[in-house]
Amino acid sequence: MSYNFRFSALLPYTDEIVRGVVLTLQLSVITMSIGLVIGLFVALARTGSIPVLRGAATTYVEAIRNTPLLVQLLIVFFGLPHLGIRFDANTAAVVALSINLGAYCGEILRAGLQSIRTSQVEAGRSLGLTAGQTFRHVVLFQAVKAVYPALTSQFVLLLLATSVVSAIGATELFSEASFIDSRTYRSFETYSLITAAYLVLTLTFRALFAVVWQLVFVRRSRSR
């Protein structure tokens, strides 16, 4: 068995690949930001004492974590327009991915929040910190630090999951690859190339997350 690789066949499609990489990056970064915010509120609601919010957050988390992302995506893009809520493909992708990521982040952050003992809060308050300061500097900081590896893994998984949004015609990296494949019929070359592209993207993100870990958690902890 031998296969003649002809990567030159992909050269005319450089623009498409670059566009795809850029959009995948944009989708990932925007979704990570929104997902983190959703996750924080969900975690607070689930660990809080208001029954309505706790119920709502639990329903949301269970509904999202127990259904396929692809189905959620198709409902947002093809289903919601029938109710008068219309997003274009890329916006629908951000909406669906954020809703999905929010549920997972919520669970990760909840675990973090629950790992902080009540005595820590009491210690913070007795040292004269306000409730907000105690939450930010004592609870949240340590909670995020505790779950940071799980959180960043979830972000990397999200970056890879953006590849499914080609199902609704969003033009991210995978979608551009299957477009190029449909024109050149060089599947092996095309998908090898974007495998490398995804690998570079995820490794870059992992490196960035490691830098953030050093700057935010290691150095600040040491300086204390």
Using the structure block, give the residue that is written with the tokens 């820590």. 120
- What's at 203, amino acid-wise? L
Which residues neighbour 120 within 8 Å (Cβ) at sequence distance 6 or greater?
A: 138, 139, 142
Where does this chain touch another protein (CB under 8 A) — which range of 25-33, 78-86, 117-125, 151-159?
78-86
Interaction of residue 175 with another protein, rule CB under 8 A: yes
Q: What angle do CA 137, 142, 144 make, to 5 degrees?
A: 105
Interaction of residue 162 with another protein, rule CB under 8 A: no
Binding test (CB under 8 A) with another protein, winner from 9, 70, 89, 111: 89
- DSSP designation for 167: G
Interaction of residue 167 with another protein, rule CB under 8 A: yes
Interaction of residue 179 with another protein, rule CB under 8 A: yes
Where does this chain touch another protein (CB under 8 A) — which range of 14-22, 26-34, 141-149, 181-189?
181-189
Dist CA 153 CA 218 (whole Å): 19
Binding test (CB under 8 A) with another protein, winner from 77, 135, 155, 198: 77
Residue 129, SS3 per DSSP: coil
Judged by CB, which is closer to another protein: 144, or 173? Answer: 173
Interaction of residue 9 with another protein, rule CB under 8 A: no
| Cβ atoms < 10 Å from Cβ of 194 | 23
Interaction of residue 79 with another protein, rule CB under 8 A: yes
Distances (CA, A) of 99 to 24, 28, 67, 158, 220: 17, 13, 12, 12, 32
Interaction of residue 24 with another protein, rule CB under 8 A: no
Where does this chain touch another protein (CB under 8 A) — which range of 95-103, 113-121, 179-187, 189-197?
179-187
Interaction of residue 82 with another protein, rule CB under 8 A: yes
For residues 139 and 121, is the Cβ–Cβ distance under 8 A? Answer: yes
Name the token pair of 177.
Answer: 């690859």
Where does this chain touch another protein (CB under 8 A) — which range of 10-18, 39-47, 176-184, 186-194?
176-184
Binding site for another protein (CB under 8 A): 74, 77-79, 81-82, 86, 88-89, 166-169, 175, 178-179, 181-183
